Amino acid sequence: MATAASILFDTGARDRIAAIPGRLRETFRSGRTRPVEWRKGQLRAVECLLKENAPRLEKALAADVGKPPFEAYAADLGFPLGEAAIALKNLDHWMRPQRVSVPAIQRPGKAWVQFDPLGVILIIAPWNYPVQLTFNPLIAAIAAGSCAVLKPSELTPQTSALMAELVAKYLDDDCFAVVEGAVEETQVLLEQRFDHILYTGNGRVGRVVMEAAAKHLTPVTLELGGKSPVIVMPDANLDVAAHRIGWAKWTNAGQTCTAPDYVLVHQDVEKPLLEKLKAVITEFYGNDPKTSKDYGRIVAERHVDRVASMLDDGVEIFAGGQVDKAARYIAPTIVRGVKPDSKVMQDEIFGPILAVMTVRDLDEAINFVCDHDKPLALYIFSGDEKLCARVLGETSSGGACINAALWQAANPHLPFGGVGPSGMGAYHGRWGFEALSHRKGVVDKPTWTDPKIAYPPYSRVKEWVARKFL
């Protein structure tokens, strides 16, 4: 099988990196990526890559981010395997042109929407789920019939190098390339013309990506995260809420873009919820989470400093709070007494600190959410269907769960994406196929008849027909 290129930045790397999109575009223009057989072949190759190399990928993820084997497989490998399977099952249907009606004045004729591949896609992946967030967009690009340049994060060097090696071994060299490296390499890529850019990461870099894309009028999909709130009402099942909030928060040591960031809990149930969340930490990770094989690590020491600094701003540490910078460890932590101007409330935490604030009623919770940037996710815990419907109807978020957390991002049949500052565009499953395709409108009219109604000279009869049917 052909191999894919992995380019390391050195003296001559700028020119080599800059040449990659043009090389892939030549392949795209040849028509190689358009047939369904080619797309399915590459999707099967992705499946083989992930299945045959799962132990190596899990080992790299453990080294880079301290992921437990279960989380490495379930979150980083299992998701793209599911995406590939769904694409393989549904690709023929997705690619089929969609017939639409033809206005009476345009008959005889027929019309349809067909999905055209965009061309060459740039995929810039983050470090928190480096395999999932590289291969999920890649699967969408393959399904859509496009070529792709992959840029993994430099903060996960072992995983990045291994993905470059495996893409080179399993996928089509003329259609896919991996560019390793850091800021310099990314900047060179962003100077080039692509047909779509899909970036996952923070809003600061998202603005850089969007500015670079604007120079070429390149469309973008931005998955940016934000401070995802949890609303807990008095009628919630607190045992279930504590387990589901705790699992969603402390998976991957809190380094998940859709993780619960802060809790708005009704003041009547703050104390029991806090006690149950504290008990969940022990249930999940034992008396000393640092020794738990099921608890991850922070990706880099500078991120340990960033997250730990949020504990120095007058908040009350209710549970956890231990920090070991050398071990890249921050304990699962709960803080209460949080104020809107607390440091922990200023930016996305992206770490294992769960901030808890009390509210007097649902109105206060909704108003607080609406007064801040639209989040990537919102979670509501309540047994009242009307109350939950009100939260969904009066707030805006990229996705949401009722009496659960994270699962909206794990369902490949739902669109995954942000709104406003938490991102733009969405993908996963069919939504990914459509995001990386162009919807081309087509009209086909026969030539055996050619009504003159639209042609000059215009008469009263023609004008009557136009006003009647247009």
Write down the catalytic residue from 71, 185, 223, 434: 223
Percent of the chain with pLDDT over 90: 90
pLDDT at residue 87 tops 80:
yes
pTM of the predicted protein model: 0.94
Average pLDDT in the 17-37 region?
A: 97
Write down the catalytic residue from 175, 257, 388, 401: 257
Sketch out the chain's domains with CATH numbers. Answer: 5-224+421-441 (3.40.605.10), 228-411 (3.40.309.10)
- Please return the burial class of 73, using the count of CB atoms within 10 Å of its CB with bins 0-12, 13-18 and 19+: buried
pLDDT at residue 6 tops 70:
no
Write the pLDDT tens digit of every residue in 112-135.
Answer: 999 999 999 999 999 999 999 999
User: Which letter, b or e, does each residue of 7-19 get, where b requires 16 or more Cβ atoms within 10 Å of its Cβ?
Assistant: bebeeebeebbee
Whether 223 is catalytic: yes
CB of 330 closer than 8 Å to CB of 354: no
CB of 109 closer than 8 Å to CB of 443: yes
Whether 257 is catalytic: yes
CB of 269 closer than 8 Å to CB of 356: no
CB of 189 closer than 8 Å to CB of 180: no
pLDDT mean across residues, the chain: 95
CB of 195 closer than 8 Å to CB of 119: yes
The amino acid at 128: N
pLDDT at residue 295 tops 90:
yes
pLDDT at residue 324 tops 80:
yes
pLDDT at residue 399 tops 90:
yes
Write the pLDDT tens digit of every residue in 32-77.
Answer: 999 999 999 999 999 999 999 999 999 999 999 999 999 999 999 9
| pLDDT number for residue 10 | 62
- Phi and psi dihedrals of 124, rounded to 5? -105, 115
pLDDT confidence bin for 100, thresholds 50/70/90: very high
pLDDT at residue 2 tops 50:
no
CA distance 320 to 325: 15
**Residue 5, helix vs strand vs coil:** strand
